[in-house]
């Protein structure tokens, strides 16, 4: 069996492969469940109900999907041009810290001012944090994969420090109980982002709408602007880009900044939409940044597909929380996400290569002699 690179990929394959990956992943997970003595049909039915059809389940799924849209977009804009920013996790924390700080500082202001300020603060902080690996990559050619990863931990520790080990303005110091159980100071009411209700119990978080708008913006940016074109060329072939006179460094900084910005707004949305205080454990536990990379990879780095995939993966995570214990094995969510991603990565080979079985190619014959 050999792999031959395809000159062009048929359109249907680009859709069929992710869908097929998910289907195969469900079959493989079913085998895992069977082997360990669970009934896969029962588990899958409960999964589907808890993710989409139980009362309030759809709203919870949207809640879980919102941060994944942001971090998925953050990963997609960088990965598709060959910049592996795996720091969305830390960039989201920094966005959340800045947005909460601004909301607390602007106590007494109206909702519009608050929300606008939080989005801007989150965006700036996320972008700034991503620009550290960005600058190092652009000017010292330091591999951004590891630096952005390391900075996730630094950001997480900074976040813990603000709440657990110092009397920062973010920390609730109002009651004696808060000394024993440190937690964030509650944000002003005006800093709570609105929700759009559709029907009786379907609530759409404002942050999700922001994410969809940003997905549109990113699509336009990458399809219709000079920047998008240059970024794509740099991603494909840095050498060709340099010969064409493109400013590689500036584009690296712009892409990393954009990626961090998206994750940072995701952090602001966590404060404004859901948590209403700076919550280190709640932000760190789900690993939004890392799951965002799963989402982006499954969406093949297409911004609108990111929104759709975030909804599905969000449903899976949400079901995992809702069903904890009872009839849903612990750890199944991670196992399934992992298997889905393995299948998607394996399926990618069908998109990029043609699989030939049998006779050897003339090229190889030439090598052999």
Residues within the interface to another protein (CB under 8 A) = 3-5, 36-37, 79, 84, 86, 136, 140-143, 145-147, 149-151, 153-154, 157-158, 160-161, 165-166, 287, 290-291, 293-294, 297, 320, 329-335, 337-339, 341-342, 345-346, 348-349, 352-353, 361, 363-364, 367
Q: Are 182 and 171 in contact (CB under 8 A)?
A: yes
User: Whose Cβ is closer to another protein: residue 72's or residue 272's?
Assistant: 72
C-beta of 127: minimal distance to another protein in Å? 18
Q: Count of CB atoms within 10 A of residue 298's CB? A: 27
Q: Give the C-alpha separation, 11 to 16, whole Å.
A: 9
Cite the DSSP H helix spans in 36-56. Answer: 40-48
Output the DSSP codes for 179-239: HHS--BPPPPGGGSPPEEEETTTEEEEHHHHHHHHHHHHHHHHHHHSHHHHHHHHHHH-HH
Report in angstroms the alpha-carbon separations of 106 from 35, 110, 167, 303, 347: 56, 9, 19, 33, 49
User: Whose Cβ is closer to another protein: residue 260's or residue 272's?
Assistant: 260
Q: Give the C-alpha separation, 253 to 32, whole Å.
A: 43
Q: 353 in helix, strand or coil? A: strand
Q: Are 278 and 184 in contact (CB under 8 A)?
A: yes
User: Whose Cβ is closer to another protein: residue 86's or residue 241's?
Assistant: 86
User: Whose Cβ is closer to another protein: residue 226's or residue 364's?
Assistant: 364
Whose CA is closest to 248, among 81, 91, 99, 97? 81
C-beta of 87: minimal distance to another protein in Å? 11
User: Whose Cβ is closer to another protein: residue 77's or residue 123's?
Assistant: 77
User: Whose Cβ is closer to another protein: residue 37's or residue 176's?
Assistant: 37
Q: Give the C-alpha separation, 280 to 168, whole Å.
A: 14
Whose CA is closest to 59, among 306, 314, 267? 314
C-beta of 368: minimal distance to another protein in Å? 11
User: Whose Cβ is closer to another protein: residue 159's or residue 204's?
Assistant: 159
C-beta of 167: minimal distance to another protein in Å? 12
Q: Count of CB atoms within 10 A of residue 89's CB? A: 26
C-beta of 160: minimal distance to another protein in Å? 6
C-beta of 266: minimal distance to another protein in Å? 18
Whose CA is closest to 144, among 214, 81, 98? 81
Q: Give the C-alpha separation, 66 to 291, whole Å.
A: 12
User: Whose Cβ is closer to another protein: residue 15's or residue 330's?
Assistant: 330
C-beta of 115: minimal distance to another protein in Å? 30
C-beta of 84: minimal distance to another protein in Å? 5
User: Whose Cβ is closer to another protein: residue 250's or residue 352's?
Assistant: 352
C-beta of 121: minimal distance to another protein in Å? 22
């Amino acid at each position: 069996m050999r792999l031959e690179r395809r000159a062009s990929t048929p359109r249907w394959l680009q859709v069929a492969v992710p869908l097929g990956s998910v289907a195969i992943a469900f079959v493989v997970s079913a085998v895992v469940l069977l082997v360990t003595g669970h009934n896969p049909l029962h588990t899958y039915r409960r999964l589907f109900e808890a993710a989409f059809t139980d009362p309030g389940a759809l709203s919870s799924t949207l809640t879980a999907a919102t941060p994944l849209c942001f971090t998925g977009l953050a990963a997609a804009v960088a990965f598709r041009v060959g910049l592996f920013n795996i720091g969305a996790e830390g960039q989201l924390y920094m966005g959340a810290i800045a947005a909460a700080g601004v909301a607390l500082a602007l106590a007494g202001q109206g909702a519009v001012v608050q929300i606008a300020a939080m989005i801007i603060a989150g965006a700036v902080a996320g972008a700034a944090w991503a620009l550290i690996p960005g600058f190092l990559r652009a000017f010292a050619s330091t591999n951004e994969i590891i630096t952005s990863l390391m900075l996730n931990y630094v950001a997480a520790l900074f976040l813990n420090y603000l709440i657990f080990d110092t009397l920062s303005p973010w920390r609730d110091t109002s009651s004696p109980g808060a000394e024993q159980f440190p937690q964030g100071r509650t944000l002003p009411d005006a800093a709570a982002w609105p929700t759009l209700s559709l029907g009786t119990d379907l609530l759409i978080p404002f942050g999700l709408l922001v994410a969809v708008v940003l997905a549109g913006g990113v699509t336009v940016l990458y399809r219709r602007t000079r920047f998008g074109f240059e970024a794509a060329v740099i991603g494909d072939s840095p050498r060709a880009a340099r010969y064409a006179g493109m400013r590689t460094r500036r584009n690296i900084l712009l892409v990393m900044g954009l990626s961090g910005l998206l994750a940072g707004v995701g952090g602001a949305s966590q404060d404004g939409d859901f948590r209403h205080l700076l919550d280190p454990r709640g932000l760190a536990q789900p690993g939004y940044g890392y799951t965002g990379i799963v989402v982006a990879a499954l969406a093949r780095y297409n911004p609108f597909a990111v929104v759709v995939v975030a909804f599905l993966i969000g449903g899976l995570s949400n079901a995992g929380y809702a069903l904890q214990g009872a009839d849903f094995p612990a750890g199944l969510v991670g196992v399934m996400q992992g298997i889905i991603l393995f299948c998607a990565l394996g399926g990618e080979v069908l998109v990029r290569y043609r699989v030939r079985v049998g006779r050897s190619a003339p090229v190889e014959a030439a090598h052999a002699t």
